[in-house]
Amino acid sequence: MYKIFRDIHLALGLFAAMFLMLYGVSALQLSVRTIFDRIAPTVATIEVPAERLGADIESPEKIRAWLRAKDLASGELGSVETSSTGLGFDVYRPGSWWKVSYRRGAPMLKIEQLESHWLIFGVELHDQSGIFHEEAGLQAWGWLVLVMSLATLLLAGSGLVLWFQRNKERRVGGIILVSSVVFTCALMVFIRL
């Protein structure tokens, strides 16, 4: 039985190693975010004649589809603001963010693209949530996070089984495990206060 759990533990560890390292690096970046917030994104502005969109100029979804078809912006539709004078919305994907704005009656649709530095990309991936996205890349990432989360739980479970089967390390391992659980629970309580 020990050999079976050892092989499962090894296979899961090898399978999840690169993902867990990437996730760990992005978690480290989040813990010292003020350092990375100083890295300004690259900004580029594009103006597109509004007449190219015709009647679609009033629909953020249709504008986004048109921008994607022209390779000007691709991502998920973010916040949409509409008013009597025009509309504005965001298109977002990790690493890139587009701010699209249009003033009614104006001849141009304004697109401002913000491109993050490659060091920020891991943090933006870390911030993604959910498994259902319009963009195929984000959806694949969401499913990968789910699979890796399950693999990590199985890795921890098989590690506990392996640890429990080794009589010599039970006492030390038990102290470490209890200390970790107490510290984590106390930290969660203090964060909520």
Per-position DSSP letters for 40-70, written without gaps between them: PPEEEEEEEEGGGTGGGGG-HHHHHHHHHHT
State the CATH number of the domain containing residue 97: 3.30.160
For residues 187 and 171, membership in a common domain is answered with yes
| First-residue to last-residue Cα distance in the chain | 45
Task: Supply the pLDDT for residue 189.
Answer: 92
Q: Are residues 128 and 169 in the same domain?
A: yes
Tokens of 188: 């969660």
Q: What is the pLDDT of residues 34-48, one digit of tens each?
A: 777 777 788 889 898
Tokens 């092989």: give the residue: 7
Cβ atoms within 10 Å, residue 117: 12
Last residue of a domain, one of 48, 82, 116: 116
Residues 32 and 46 in one domain: no
Q: Is the pLDDT of residue 138 over 80?
A: yes
Q: What is the pLDDT of residue 126?
A: 73
What's the average model confidence in pLDDT over 176-181? Answer: 89
Mode of pairing for the β-strands spanning 86-93 and 76-82: antiparallel
Residue 186 confidence class, pLDDT cut points 50, 70, 90: very high
- Interval 161-172: pLDDT, tens: 888 777 777 788
Where is the domain boundary, 67, 100, 116? 116
> Are residue 30 and residue 54 in the same domain, yes or no?
no
pLDDT-based confidence at residue 108 (cuts at 50, 70, 90)? confident
Decide: 123 and 33 in contact? Cβ < 8 Å.
yes
The domain of 80 spans 40-116
